[in-house]
Amino acid sequence: MPFYVLKMGGSLMPTARDLIRALLPLAEEGYSFLVVPGGGLMADLVREIHSRGDLSEEAAHWMAILAMEQYAYFLADGTGAALTREISRSKRKSDGPVQVLLPYRALIEDDRGLGHNWNYTSDSVAALVAWKLHAPLIKATNVDGVILDGKVVLEVPASRMLGRKSCIDLGTIELLCGLLKGSSVWVLNGTDVQQFINALKRGEGGTVIKG
Protein backbone atom coordinates (compact mmCIF):
# COMPACT_ATOMS: atom_id res chain seq x y z
CA MET A 1 0.00 0.00 0.00
CA PRO A 2 1.44 3.41 -0.93
CA PHE A 3 2.69 5.37 2.08
CA TYR A 4 4.19 8.84 1.72
CA VAL A 5 5.75 11.42 3.97
CA LEU A 6 4.21 14.66 2.71
CA LYS A 7 5.83 17.99 3.57
CA MET A 8 3.06 20.59 3.45
CA GLY A 9 4.66 23.95 2.77
CA GLY A 10 3.54 27.07 4.60
CA SER A 11 3.17 28.71 1.19
CA LEU A 12 0.10 26.51 0.66
CA MET A 13 -1.82 27.89 3.64
CA PRO A 14 -4.75 29.13 1.46
CA THR A 15 -5.33 25.65 -0.06
CA ALA A 16 -3.58 23.31 2.40
CA ARG A 17 -6.68 22.12 4.24
CA ASP A 18 -8.49 21.43 0.96
CA LEU A 19 -5.51 19.29 -0.04
CA ILE A 20 -5.61 17.42 3.28
CA ARG A 21 -9.32 16.72 2.76
CA ALA A 22 -8.62 15.45 -0.77
CA LEU A 23 -6.07 12.96 0.56
CA LEU A 24 -8.55 11.22 2.86
CA PRO A 25 -10.60 9.42 0.16
CA LEU A 26 -7.36 7.95 -1.24
CA ALA A 27 -7.48 5.52 1.68
CA GLU A 28 -9.92 3.49 -0.41
CA GLU A 29 -7.06 2.96 -2.88
CA GLY A 30 -4.61 2.02 -0.12
CA TYR A 31 -2.84 5.35 0.29
CA SER A 32 -1.75 6.74 3.65
CA PHE A 33 0.27 9.81 4.60
CA LEU A 34 2.30 11.29 7.41
CA VAL A 35 2.15 15.05 6.87
CA VAL A 36 5.09 17.13 8.08
CA PRO A 37 3.92 20.73 8.43
CA GLY A 38 5.90 23.74 7.35
CA GLY A 39 6.28 26.71 9.65
CA GLY A 40 4.12 29.12 7.67
CA LEU A 41 3.47 32.62 8.95
CA MET A 42 4.44 31.55 12.48
CA ALA A 43 7.98 30.64 11.43
CA ASP A 44 8.22 33.87 9.42
CA LEU A 45 7.62 35.76 12.66
CA VAL A 46 10.42 33.83 14.38
CA ARG A 47 12.72 34.60 11.45
CA GLU A 48 11.85 38.30 11.70
CA ILE A 49 12.59 38.43 15.44
CA HIS A 50 15.88 36.59 14.89
CA SER A 51 16.88 38.97 12.09
CA ARG A 52 16.58 41.88 14.55
CA GLY A 53 19.21 40.25 16.75
CA ASP A 54 16.79 39.48 19.57
CA LEU A 55 17.22 35.67 19.44
CA SER A 56 20.09 33.21 19.39
CA GLU A 57 20.11 30.64 16.57
CA GLU A 58 19.42 27.90 19.12
CA ALA A 59 16.30 29.62 20.46
CA ALA A 60 15.15 30.53 16.95
CA HIS A 61 15.54 26.90 15.86
CA TRP A 62 13.28 25.49 18.56
CA MET A 63 10.77 28.32 18.21
CA ALA A 64 10.56 27.51 14.48
CA ILE A 65 9.96 23.83 15.32
CA LEU A 66 7.14 24.95 17.60
CA ALA A 67 5.82 27.07 14.72
CA MET A 68 5.53 23.81 12.76
CA GLU A 69 3.33 22.48 15.56
CA GLN A 70 1.04 25.49 15.26
CA TYR A 71 0.68 24.90 11.52
CA ALA A 72 -0.03 21.24 12.26
CA TYR A 73 -3.04 22.24 14.35
CA PHE A 74 -4.20 24.48 11.50
CA LEU A 75 -3.90 21.61 8.99
CA ALA A 76 -5.79 19.14 11.16
CA ASP A 77 -8.55 21.52 12.23
CA GLY A 78 -11.81 20.53 10.58
CA THR A 79 -10.17 18.33 7.94
CA GLY A 80 -10.51 14.86 9.44
CA ALA A 81 -6.75 14.36 9.72
CA ALA A 82 -5.33 13.12 13.02
CA LEU A 83 -2.50 14.72 14.97
CA THR A 84 0.40 12.55 16.10
CA ARG A 85 3.61 13.04 18.06
CA GLU A 86 5.13 9.80 16.77
CA ILE A 87 7.39 9.46 13.75
CA SER A 88 5.84 6.22 12.55
CA ARG A 89 3.61 4.65 9.95
CA SER A 90 0.03 4.45 11.12
CA LYS A 91 -0.76 0.86 12.15
CA ARG A 92 -4.23 1.29 13.66
CA LYS A 93 -7.26 1.80 11.48
CA SER A 94 -8.60 4.28 14.04
CA ASP A 95 -5.65 6.60 13.30
CA GLY A 96 -7.00 7.25 9.83
CA PRO A 97 -5.09 7.50 6.54
CA VAL A 98 -3.74 11.04 7.08
CA GLN A 99 -1.76 11.95 10.18
CA VAL A 100 -0.16 15.34 10.81
CA LEU A 101 3.08 15.30 12.78
CA LEU A 102 3.66 17.43 15.88
CA PRO A 103 7.47 17.26 15.64
CA TYR A 104 8.77 19.05 18.75
CA ARG A 105 8.94 16.17 21.23
CA ALA A 106 10.42 13.69 18.75
CA LEU A 107 13.10 16.17 17.70
CA ILE A 108 13.97 17.10 21.29
CA GLU A 109 14.68 13.40 21.84
CA ASP A 110 16.67 12.93 18.60
CA ASP A 111 17.40 15.47 15.88
CA ARG A 112 20.68 14.07 14.61
CA GLY A 113 21.53 15.45 11.19
CA LEU A 114 19.56 18.66 11.71
CA GLY A 115 21.58 21.88 11.93
CA HIS A 116 20.26 24.54 14.28
CA ASN A 117 20.27 27.37 11.75
CA TRP A 118 18.07 28.70 8.95
CA ASN A 119 19.64 26.41 6.33
CA TYR A 120 17.74 23.57 8.01
CA THR A 121 14.01 24.27 7.98
CA SER A 122 10.91 22.09 7.91
CA ASP A 123 12.11 20.67 4.56
CA SER A 124 15.07 19.11 6.35
CA VAL A 125 12.84 17.81 9.14
CA ALA A 126 10.61 16.12 6.54
CA ALA A 127 13.63 14.61 4.78
CA LEU A 128 14.90 13.09 8.02
CA VAL A 129 11.42 11.79 8.90
CA ALA A 130 11.09 10.10 5.50
CA TRP A 131 14.59 8.60 5.86
CA LYS A 132 13.78 7.20 9.29
CA LEU A 133 10.61 5.59 7.94
CA HIS A 134 12.23 4.36 4.69
CA ALA A 135 9.41 6.20 2.90
CA PRO A 136 9.20 8.37 -0.23
CA LEU A 137 9.02 12.10 0.40
CA ILE A 138 6.85 14.62 -1.44
CA LYS A 139 7.25 18.34 -0.88
CA ALA A 140 3.95 20.06 -1.71
CA THR A 141 4.63 23.71 -2.43
CA ASN A 142 3.47 26.66 -4.55
CA VAL A 143 5.82 26.20 -7.52
CA ASP A 144 5.91 23.62 -10.33
CA GLY A 145 9.33 22.25 -9.41
CA VAL A 146 13.02 23.12 -9.53
CA ILE A 147 13.83 25.69 -12.21
CA LEU A 148 17.23 25.45 -13.88
CA ASP A 149 18.24 27.50 -16.91
CA GLY A 150 14.76 29.02 -17.01
CA LYS A 151 12.71 25.82 -17.08
CA VAL A 152 11.35 23.20 -14.69
CA VAL A 153 13.48 20.05 -14.76
CA LEU A 154 11.98 16.59 -14.24
CA GLU A 155 14.98 15.28 -12.31
CA VAL A 156 18.15 16.77 -10.89
CA PRO A 157 21.00 15.41 -8.75
CA ALA A 158 21.24 17.07 -5.35
CA SER A 159 24.95 17.71 -5.97
CA ARG A 160 24.01 20.14 -8.74
CA MET A 161 21.97 22.18 -6.28
CA LEU A 162 24.59 22.59 -3.56
CA GLY A 163 24.75 26.26 -2.57
CA ARG A 164 21.97 27.16 -5.02
CA LYS A 165 18.89 28.96 -3.69
CA SER A 166 15.73 27.14 -4.75
CA CYS A 167 12.31 25.97 -3.58
CA ILE A 168 13.93 23.57 -1.10
CA ASP A 169 16.18 24.46 1.80
CA LEU A 170 19.96 24.19 1.62
CA GLY A 171 20.03 21.78 4.56
CA THR A 172 18.00 19.19 2.68
CA ILE A 173 20.37 19.39 -0.28
CA GLU A 174 23.35 18.91 2.04
CA LEU A 175 21.62 15.94 3.68
CA LEU A 176 20.88 14.35 0.29
CA CYS A 177 24.56 14.66 -0.58
CA GLY A 178 25.62 13.16 2.74
CA LEU A 179 23.64 11.33 5.43
CA LEU A 180 20.60 10.78 3.18
CA LYS A 181 22.49 9.87 0.02
CA GLY A 182 20.35 7.50 -2.01
CA SER A 183 17.13 9.23 -0.90
CA SER A 184 15.11 11.66 -3.00
CA VAL A 185 12.53 14.44 -2.72
CA TRP A 186 9.67 14.86 -5.16
CA VAL A 187 8.77 18.57 -5.41
CA LEU A 188 5.16 18.96 -6.55
CA ASN A 189 2.83 21.96 -6.91
CA GLY A 190 -0.04 21.75 -4.45
CA THR A 191 -1.93 24.94 -5.26
CA ASP A 192 -4.39 23.10 -7.51
CA VAL A 193 -5.71 20.23 -5.41
CA GLN A 194 -7.05 18.08 -8.23
CA GLN A 195 -3.91 18.47 -10.32
CA PHE A 196 -1.85 17.43 -7.31
CA ILE A 197 -3.96 14.30 -6.75
CA ASN A 198 -3.76 13.41 -10.46
CA ALA A 199 0.03 13.88 -10.47
CA LEU A 200 0.37 11.77 -7.33
CA LYS A 201 -1.60 8.90 -8.83
CA ARG A 202 0.28 9.05 -12.15
CA GLY A 203 3.67 9.55 -10.54
CA GLU A 204 4.34 12.41 -12.95
CA GLY A 205 5.05 16.12 -12.76
CA GLY A 206 7.23 18.37 -10.66
CA THR A 207 10.88 17.61 -10.00
CA VAL A 208 12.61 14.69 -8.34
CA ILE A 209 15.80 15.73 -6.50
CA LYS A 210 17.99 12.65 -6.17
CA GLY A 211 20.61 12.16 -3.49
On average, the pLDDT of the chain sits at: 95
Q: Is the pTM of this model over 0.85?
A: yes
**HSE-up of residue 202 (Cα within 13 Å, Cβ side):** 10
Res. 184 pLDDT band, cuts 50 70 90: very high
Return the higher-pLDDT residue of 127 and 1: 127
Task: Please give the average per-residue pLDDT across 184-192, as a whole number.
Answer: 97
Q: How far apart are CA 47 and CA 20, in angstroms?
A: 26
The whole domain housing 176 covers: 3-210
Q: How far apart are CA 211 and CA 184, in angstroms?
A: 6
Q: How far apart are CA 16 and CA 137, in angstroms?
A: 17
Look at residue 138 and give its three-state secondary structure: strand
141-181: pLDDT as tens digits:
999 999 988 899 999 999 999 988 899 999 999 999 999 99
Q: How far apart are CA 53 and CA 58, in angstroms?
A: 13
37-81: pLDDT as tens digits:
999 999 999 999 999 998 999 999 999 999 999 999 999 999 999
What CATH number is given to the structural domain containing 158?
A: 3.40.1160.10
Answer yes or no: are the C-beta atoms of 171 and 123 closer than 8 Å.
yes
Check residue 92 and give its pLDDT: 65
Which DSSP string corresponds to 30-52? T-EEEEEE--HHHHHHHHHHHHT
**Domains contained in the chain, number:** 1
